[in-house]
Every structure is written in structure tokens, then in C-alpha cells.
Amino acid sequence: MPLGLTMVGVSGGVDSSVAALLLSRGSNPLAGMFMQNWEEDERLGPCRADEDRRDAVAVCARLGIPFHARNFAREYWDQVFEHFIAEYRAGRTPNPDVLCNREIKFKTFLDHARALGAERIATGHYARIECRDGQWLLLRALDSNKDQSYFLHALGQQQLAATVFPLGNMLKPEVRRLALEADLPTHAKKDSTGICFIGERDIRDFLGRYIPARAGEIHTPDGQRIGEHPGCWYFTLGQRGGLGIGGRRDSNGEPWYVVGKDVSRNIVYAVQGQASQWLQSHALVASRINWITGTPSAREFRCTAMIRYRQEPQACTVTLVGNEANVQFDQAQRAVSPGQSAVFYQGEICLGGGVIESSDAPFGRVDANMAVAAQAMEASHA
């Protein structure tokens, strides 16, 4: 039975262009929609929306499919950006791509596509969707280097049932090749990197527009003052750059890394050495868990987890207490950061995930102070 209209999200990049190309070769009706999620403003700096929109229009014209455009900047601000800033103010490190997917690309976009008569939507994400035994599953992409299931873990059954990912079984070089062969205007366009609304700008400069600088001190875990910083919310665990700690006579020459933050006192803690024990965690607590099938398989189970994008999945045991997940890793994990996502997998299947609240690292909470950290370090050696 023929399917109804598919609305493909055309971003002006090569991935969404090839997704549209592949779908245009089928027999089902197709249209493209460009989503503008950020407004250009002199105060906010440059935005690529106009260039990307022109490229999206050109792709749809090349493929002979209708083009639509919608401005979702208000929804993005209310549902994604305000949360992003609030998390940084609280000393956490948020992941706006997860919220953007859940609230904008697979909710607002889906609603607008349906209003235009679309039966399903498509995007250029690298992931796969399968229906097994009546359940929709999110699977890792064939291209492990481009797999984006980590950012899609907050989706559910209704979104997956109405979505197609044409690139899920493809490698990126093949995508580029198809774009070139089809003479798509985006075939040589550079991939976008980082957070969309920040672009190529320094994140500290960008955050400074919304969170005023407030100078504080940089300490070693034993309380020795070693420098100053412009605000602890500008730093994340494991960060190396931006500390401004020069050569010290008592230094061993290794780089300095952020190992903790005391937000209430505006103190950043740093140590030397990438493999410092102050950065190591064996366990974390995640909250606001989303299970893609709706429910977990058990209250305790073995699986793998990722605590950052492109990390190799790590073996762990998950124990559920209410809607929190206590995760115990087989091997120590470096720089587990509150506010980031912990995403769970069974093989190639993404089970879901949640937001990291804390870890068992000495400074595993953003409100940890030196006394709490010292107790945690003592407990880890007991």
C-alpha cells in the first residue's frame, strides 16, 4: 500500500540533502521543510540561517520537490535555549541537541508537517529504526563514527513510528559520493560542528552575553590557591584550556585539568595530569530517564552506556530506583559531567537514557566542597 506524504527536514547540509535525494527516488510523495531555530541579531552574533535556507531551496529545486519553511525560533528559545542557560548558571554542562531533537525536530516539526498533510517525517540523522514484535526500536547507525543515536535517546514510540532515517545504513563517504554524483549544491559543504546557535564562536564569549562574569579563585583539592577564573559556570569537568595557570615552581610540568566546581563559593578545582584520580568515577546517578519502548526491561540489568558523544559504549550494571538510574561501571570513567546524558544500549539497540546528576568522583556534584571531596577520596581508598 503506498505511503502518504513524507516531509523531509532540509537543513541546507549534505546529510539532509542526500536523505531527500534517496526518498525522491521512491514512488511516494515528498516535500522538504527548512526549520529556522535561531534568529539573527546583532547582539547574538552571526547566524548561517540565510545561507542554509538558500542551499535548502536549491536542493529541493534540484530534486523537483515542494519547499516549505517554518520559523521555530520562539519554540527553540522557550524549550531549549532557556534550559541551556539555566543549566550553565547552575554549574552543569547541558546537552542542547538532545532537547532540540525531542522538542523541536521530532515534535514541533512533526506537528507542522502533519498540518501540511504529511504522514511521516525524515531527517539526515545517522541512526536506524526498526519495528520488532510491535515495538519501535532505535538502533545505532552502520557508520559508528557518525552514529547519532546518543542524541536521539529521548524519543519515544510515537516519534519513531512517524520517522524515517534514510542514512542509517550508509557510510559518510558514500553520502558525499551520492551528493556529488547527483550534482547537489551541498555536496562539498563543510559539516556543521558544535552547538548550532554558537557556531564557530568561543563558548565562553557566547555565555558571557547571558551569564555575567564573576571572578573567583582556582584551587587545588588541598585548598591551595593557584589562579583566578572569570566564573565557574564557564568550565566543565576534564577541561584543559582556559585556566590560565602558567608555569609554577611547584609544578611538574603536566597540563592542568578542571576536576570540580563549588558553585556556591565560585571556586574551580584543578589538578595536573589527564589521568588524575580526581577525575575518575566508577558510578553515576542519572535522572529524568526516558525508555524508548516506554518501560525498562527490568529494575536491574546489564548493558553498556555512553556518557559522551562518540565514546565507545562502556559495560555497566543499571539499578533503577524510582525514575533514577544508579549506574555502576566495570571500568573507571573519566570526567563524568553533571548535565550531560547517560545513554544505555543493548548491543546495537538504544534503550534510552537520562541526565547525569552526580558521580562518585570526589567532586561528583556541582555543589561539592573541599570537605565533601576529601571524604569521597578517603572512601575510595578505604
Q: What is the per-residue DSSP string for 50-66? A: HHHHHHHHHHHHHHT--
211-216 long-range contacts (CB < 8 A, ≥24 apart) are 211/85, 211/88, 211/89, 214/266, 216/265, 216/266, 216/267, 216/268
Which member of 47, 60, 131, 196 is catalytic? 196
CB 286 within 8 A of CB 327: yes
- Provide Rg for the chain, Cα atoms: 22
Residues 6+ apart with CB under 8 A from 77: none
Supply 287's cell numbers: 535522572
Answer yes or no: are the C-beta atoms of 361 and 346 closer than 8 Å: no
Is 196 catalytic? The answer is yes
The DSSP annotation for 269-338 comes to: EEEE-TT-GGGEEEEEEEEEEEETTSS-S-SEEEEEEESSTTPPPEEEEEEEETTEEEEEEEEEEE---T
Distance CA(333)–CA(275), nearest Å, equals 10
Say how far apart CA 55 and CA 11 lie, in whole Å.
Answer: 8
The owner of cell 527548512 is 34
Q: Is 303 a catalytic residue?
A: no
Helix axes 14-24, 172-181, angle to 10 degrees: 70
Residue type, 355: V
Query: Which of 306, 337, 342, 340 lies closest to 324, judged by CA?
Result: 342
CA nearest neighbour of 341 among 352, 329, 356: 356
Query: Helix count (H) and strand count (E) of the chain?
Result: 10, 17
- Residue 191 to residues 16, 122, 129: CA-CA distances in angstroms? 11, 19, 23
Q: Quick check: 373 and 280 in contact, CB under 8 A?
A: no
Q: Which of 100, 232, 303, 350 is catalytic?
A: 100
Q: Which residues are catalytic, by number?
A: 100, 196
